[in-house]
């Protein structure tokens, strides 16, 4: 193997010529990797089987379009979709929907996994109206009149645009979801998060949070039922008004048209990649010395481990605060610098095709190839050590990346326990993988991803009396004051891989039975997979009706918990316009 400048090693399997050729051949997996809702059908050409929404306000554009979520597990043709030009158009749509018995589903980039927006169903659902926020509800206004500065943004704006506007004005966020093509509305709905806790000696700058984006909210404008006028209307809640606690992270049970967020001064980040630290070292038991996750958290505070199946050295990214350019760093002036992970080389697509066709025993080779691509990619694109304004390394996943499915959980615990939690998780994961392999099954063919964030501490909000997000996975536990971090775990696999739902069920049951008491607790990552049975996600009735609500109730004040959030969301949407079968089960 060839050793790089940073001590990492390039794969012998994928030379530069092959790598470049492979990247160019990415289209080979096009059907699996990319999808564009290309067609639109107007009311005049409506499919015969699909009634035009009756008496729909003529001033608002309406067309039929397919809905498809990220993993493509939900693909519904010809869903009636409205395009509001203003927040008041959304109000008009909602009042029309009450009259005509329709559900109103805000639609952002559709880049999630869980069926929060709608369930898989036959084409053309008769009473669902999608509302596409991305075309007009995109205004962004930055105000420096207050300290900290604020940004007021309509919820259809993408994180790409929002973070670029903030950067131009000199502002940024501590952490954010890795893809920037998602909308602000979609990110706030599910407590969008990145990875960041304070490095040793680091203090929180004004306007920032180590928690989720939801914890930056100072006020929200939502479409809500007004019981005086007996109609839906625009309503603004500030961070100190009790109802906002249900809306800060609402899991899709609301329609938010704009949000005002606090923001901090922008800053420069360095992001270094490591691909030669053994998993046994990185994920070693609590108290181990050397290059553990805990050691990187102490020195830098920001890590992400991506561990491909059946490989021994994860891809570790470590971000650190670096006001001036380190000598060995490459300056980046835009995001999405890991082009090799956003394009699918033909070698990978061929191997995946063989696995999908039934040769599951190729999964270890698939894992090895994924790691080789990263190793070679980091070397040939000169991206193993990047430096620039915060967003340019915080955003790194493009929609052209492999479309896989994922489960997702946050484990709340104290910072001192992080290494132990990770070690326990990977030990269980490996044992499960081995037990499946012994049966000739390879249910997980994508990586394990591990990140660590702070919690949604109201003290991070520069407003006295700020309310705590009742449905956020990062809501602190008042009865566990030592808990100050969440370890996020995801395991990715190609949708429909044999055994995957059973595997996901086993790991979910293990997580919930292991991380208990005063040691740690588990909550779902709303946008990903949870509530598994051996045949499907989001379908375990005990998880939906008992376990998950309990996780957002235990330790919380009476009247300020999961049930309180459900009641508030119902009060402001008594017609349940903003719901779906999953939300009806979770928040009945």
Ligand X SMILES: Cc1cc2nc3c(=O)[nH]c(=O)nc-3n(C[C@H](O)[C@H](O)[C@H](O)COP(=O)(O)OP(=O)(O)OC[C@H]3O[C@@H](n4cnc5c(N)ncnc54)[C@H](O)[C@@H]3O)c2cc1C
415 binds ligand X (CB under 6 A): no
* Number of amino acids touching ligand X (CB under 6 A): 32
379/476 with CB nearer ligand X: 476
Q: What is the total residue count of the chain? A: 588
Q: Smallest distance, Å, CB 341 to ligand X?
A: 11
Give the whole-angstrom CA distance, residue 48 versus residue 314: 52
What SS3 string covers 245-263?
HHHCCCCCCCCEEEEEEEC
Q: Which stretch binds ligand X (CB under 6 A): 38-46, 162-170, 250-258, 338-346?
A: 250-258
Interface residue with ligand X, options 78, 79, 97, 105 (CB under 6 A)? 105
Structure tokens at 355: 């696995």
CA 407-131-96 angle, 5° bins: 130
The answer to whether 352 touches 366, Cβ cutoff 8 Å, is yes
Q: Smallest distance, Å, CB 3 to ligand X?
A: 31
> For residues 503-532, which are near ligand X according to CB under 6 A?
527
Please identify which residue in the block is written with the tokens 């021994």.
Answer: 312
Q: Which stretch binds ligand X (CB under 6 A): 50-58, 253-261, 305-313, 566-574?
A: 253-261
End-to-end CA distance of the chain: 57
Interface residue with ligand X, options 211, 252, 264, 443 (CB under 6 A)? 252
The residues that are catalytic are 111, 304, 449, 451
> For residues 177-196, which are near ligand X according to CB under 6 A?
177-179, 182-183, 185-187, 189-190, 192-193
Q: Smallest distance, Å, CB 587 to ligand X?
A: 12
9 burial type by CB count under 10 A (0-12 exposed, 13-18 middle, 19+ buried): middle
Interface residue with ligand X, options 19, 63, 171, 255 (CB under 6 A)? 255
162/178 with CB nearer ligand X: 178
Q: Which stretch binds ligand X (CB under 6 A): 21-29, 75-83, 174-182, 325-333?
A: 174-182
Q: Which stretch binds ligand X (CB under 6 A): 17-25, 106-114, 452-460, 463-471?
A: 106-114
CA proximity to 477, closest of 488, 489, 486, 465: 486
70 binds ligand X (CB under 6 A): yes
407 binds ligand X (CB under 6 A): no
Q: Smallest distance, Å, CB 424 to ligand X?
A: 23
CA proximity to 377, closest of 403, 327, 342: 342
For 43, the enclosing helix (H) or strand (E) is none
Q: Smallest distance, Å, CB 464 to ligand X?
A: 27
CA proximity to 271, closest of 205, 226, 321: 321
- Tell me 467's DSSP state: P
Give the whole-angstrom CA distance, residue 524 versus residue 479: 20
Task: Output phi, psi for 491, to 5 deg.
Answer: -125, 130
SS3 139: coil
Q: Smallest distance, Å, CB 458 to ligand X?
A: 20
Please identify which residue in the block is written with the tokens 């954010």.
Answer: 176
SS3 379: helix
The answer to whether 438 touches 499, Cβ cutoff 8 Å, is no
Give the whole-angstrom CA distance, residue 537 versus residue 500: 10
Count of other CB atoms within 10 angstroms of residue 89: 20
- From residue 118 to residue 147, the character string flagging contacts with ligand X as x (rule: CB under 6 A) and all else as - is ---------------x--------------
111 binds ligand X (CB under 6 A): yes
> For residues 148-167, which are near ligand X according to CB under 6 A?
155
Q: Which stretch binds ligand X (CB under 6 A): 173-181, 309-317, 360-368, 377-385?
A: 173-181
Q: Smallest distance, Å, CB 186 to ligand X?
A: 2
116 binds ligand X (CB under 6 A): yes
Number of H helices, E strands in the chain: 18, 23
46 binds ligand X (CB under 6 A): no
Q: Which stretch binds ligand X (CB under 6 A): 248-256, 344-352, 462-470, 475-483?
A: 248-256
Residues that bind ligand X (CB under 6 A): 70, 105-112, 116-117, 133, 155, 177-179, 182-183, 185-187, 189-190, 192-193, 252, 254-256, 397, 401, 527
């Amino acid at each position: 193997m060839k050793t790089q400048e940073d001590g990492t090693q390039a794969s012998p399997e994928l030379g530069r010529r092959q790598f470049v050729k492979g990247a160019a051949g990415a289209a080979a997996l096009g059907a699996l990797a990319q999808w564009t809702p290309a067609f639109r059908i107007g009311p005049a050409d409506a499919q015969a089987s699909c009634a035009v929404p009756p008496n729909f306000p003529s001033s608002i554009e309406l067309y039929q379009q397919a809905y498809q979520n990220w993993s493509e597990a939900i693909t519904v043709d010809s869903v009636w979709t409205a395009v509001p030009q203003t927040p008041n158009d959304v109000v008009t749509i909602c009042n029309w929907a009450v009259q005509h018995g329709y559900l109103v589903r805000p639609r952002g980039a559709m880049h999630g996994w869980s069926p929060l927006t709608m369930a898989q169903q036959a084409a053309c659902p008769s009473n669902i109206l999608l509302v596409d926020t991305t075309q007009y509800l995109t205004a962004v206004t930055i105000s420096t009149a207050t300290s900290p500065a604020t940004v007021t943004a309509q919820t259809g704006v993408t994180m790409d645009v929002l973070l670029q506007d903030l950067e131009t004005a000199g502002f940024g966020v501590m952490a954010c979801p890795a893809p920037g093509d998602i909308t602000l509305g979609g990110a706030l709905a599910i407590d969008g998060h990145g990875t960041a806790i304070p490095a040793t000696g680091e203090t929180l700058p004004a306007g920032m949070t180590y928690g989720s984006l939801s914890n930056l909210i100072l006020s929200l404008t939502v479409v809500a039922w007004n019981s005086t006028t007996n109609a839906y209307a625009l309503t603004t809640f500030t961070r100190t008004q009790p109802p906002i606690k249900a809306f800060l992270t609402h899991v899709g049970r609301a329609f938010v048209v704009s949000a005002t967020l606090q923001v901090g001064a922008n800053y420069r980040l360095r992001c270094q990649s490591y691909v030669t630290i053994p998993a046994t070292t990185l994920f070693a038991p609590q108290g181990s010395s050397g290059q553990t996750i805990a050691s990187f958290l102490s020195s830098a505070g920001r890590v992400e481990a991506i561990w491909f199946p059946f490989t021994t050295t994860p891809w570790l990214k470590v971000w650190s605060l670096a006001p001036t350019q380190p000598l060995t760093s490459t300056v980046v002036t835009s995001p999405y610098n890991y082009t090799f992970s956003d394009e699918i080389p033909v070698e990978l697509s061929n191997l995946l095709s063989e696995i999908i066709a039934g040769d599951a025993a190729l999964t270890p080779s698939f894992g090895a190839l994924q790691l080789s691509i990263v190793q070679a990619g980091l070397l040939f694109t000169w991206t193993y050590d990047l430096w620039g304004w915060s967003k340019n390394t915080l955003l790194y996943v493009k929609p052209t990346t492999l479309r896989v499915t994922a489960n997702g959980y946050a484990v709340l615990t104290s910072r001192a326990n992080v290494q132990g939690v990770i070690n326990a998780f990977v030990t269980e994961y490996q044992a499960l993988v081995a037990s499946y392999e012994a049966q000739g099954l390879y249910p997980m063919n994508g990586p394990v991803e591990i990140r660590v964030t702070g919690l949604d501490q109201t003290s991070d909000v520069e407003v006295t009396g700020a309310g705590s997000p009742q449905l956020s996975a990062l809501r602190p536990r008042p009865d566990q004051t030592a808990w100050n971090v969440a370890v996020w775990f995801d395991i990715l696999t190609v949708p429909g891989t044999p055994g995957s739902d059973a595997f996901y069920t086993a790991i979910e049951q293990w997580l919930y039975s292991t991380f208990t008491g005063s040691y740690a607790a588990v909550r779902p990552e709303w946008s990903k997979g949870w509530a598994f049975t051996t045949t499907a996600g989001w379908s375990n009735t005990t998880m939906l009706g008992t376990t998950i609500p309990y996780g957002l109730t235990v330790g919380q004040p009476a009247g300020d918990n999961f049930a309180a959030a459900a009641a508030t969301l119902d009060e402001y949407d008594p017609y349940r316009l903003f719901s779906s079968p999953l939300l009806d089960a979770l928040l009945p």
